[in-house]
Structure formats: C-alpha cells, structure tokens
Structure 1
Amino acid sequence: MAAYLVIKLLVLGLIHLVFVQGIKGCFDEERKALLEFKAFVKSDGQDADHLLPSWVNEPEDDCCQWERVECNSTTGHVIKLSLSNTRQFDVFSSSLYDPQNSWHLNISLFQPFRELRSLNLSFNVIAGWIQNKGKL
C-alpha cells in the first residue's frame, strides 16, 4: 500500500511538472541569440524595433511567442525562423543592387539553435556565398 502511494505521488508530481508548469518558452541562449540578430539588424541602420517589435530584452519574455519565431511545442527549442525582408529597401531604387548595400551576415549567430529546421533569409540582399558545410 505504501509503495502504491509513493508511485501515485511521483506520477502526480511528474504530471504537475509537465502539464501545470509546462515548457516556459524558449531557452535563454536562443533568446539571447535572437536579440543578437536584432542588434545586428539595428547596427546595419535598419529600424529593428519597427521590424521586430515583440523581440524585447526581458528575461521572463517567451521568445516562442515572438513574431517570425516558431518553437517545438514539446521541447521549447526554436525550430523555425522567418527572417525574410528584415532589411527595408525601396525595390525601385537602384541602390538596392549597389554592392555597398550588401549584407555580410555572420552565420554563427544561428549556432545556439540546436533544433532549427527552417531558416528563411530571403529578400535581405546577402552578399557572398554560404557554403554547405553539413550540420552546423
């Protein structure tokens, strides 16, 4: 009878941890990496606060709720980033194709994302080639 009670308490404790507490959003290192990307966009002279307004530097903030971010509902890790068109250009301007406007992206910004499966960087005027190195 005592063993049954102990097992029942352990199961209830586990249920409480998983369902009541739940996954509290993204991991701190992933949240920090997203904020570094936002800072990178700002350093390029873009209005990142306008482009990514929900990306705020508050420790309790859940980056899984930020726009352009999708997380695994089980693990809480970021699995998808939709970062297309984070550089605002006038598409009719000739300066869009000026090499001076090219973006030299530091791909190491994305290393903390262990479960990232989809990364959309289209329409950002990225310069150079990104070689296929297998898994990062």
Structure 2
Amino acid sequence: MFVVWIGVPTAIACVAVALVLQWWWLVALLAAAGLAGIVWGWFWAARSQAAWGFAENAEDLWIRRGVAWKRLVAVPYGRVQYVDVTAGPLQRAYGIATVSLHTASSSTSAVIPGVPADDAVRLRDRLTELGKTRGSGI
C-alpha cells in the first residue's frame, strides 16, 4: 500500500514534468526521490512491525510498540471493560486481525494489530473472562 501512496504521485509528477517542461534531469531527480521514499518506507514498515508485541502477565496485559519512541502499556485485567476484534478486507485476506482493549480511561491506547485471526478470538475470550473475574469494583 505504501508503494501506491509514493509511487503513483511520483509517476504522475515525472510524466507531467517530462511532457510539459521536458526537463529530463528533473524527471530523473523525481524518480530517484520516489524510489528512495519507497525503500525508506519499506525499511521503516518492517522495523515498525517488529516493534509491536504483547505479553500476558499474572495481573495485566503488557503491550509494547514504537521504533523511535518506544511505548509500553500495562492494562490490568480488572480494568478491561470490553475487547474488540476487528479485521478489514485486507486483514481477512491475510488471516490477521486487530485486538483493541477498552477501559474507562480514554487515554489508554491498547491496540494489538496483526494477530492471527484464531489467536485474536482466543485472546478476546480470555481477556473478557479475566476482566469479569478480576473486575475491581466496576
């Protein structure tokens, strides 16, 4: 998808410059910049994907993310109100889903993308059950 967002505008700009201005050095510069953007995005996407992770602890769920700015979120099971599992068409095609935990705090960003669909359903059921049994006065 990233290739489309960089490649298509770059190709349109190259064709426009070539047809209207006929500055071939600018066409080459635009094409090189577009290719560099695609390579950088591909590299960054791989690092970003590798930075996501989660671990179930005895009392809470830990979610880590971030390449440049690392973030670790610990969500106590007793604070979980409900758990969403969502999967768009592209995610369904690849057999993955996104698990979102919702708590009373609006600042909690507990999202786990790219979980295999079967594991996401099992995780949702387990977190919902732990949220019910360890609910702290909610």
- The answer, yes or no, to whether TM exceeds 0.5 is no
Structure having the higher strand fraction is 2
What TM-score, normalized to structure 2? Answer: 0.31
What TM-score, normalized to structure 1? Answer: 0.31
Structure having the higher helix fraction is 2
Larger Rg: 2
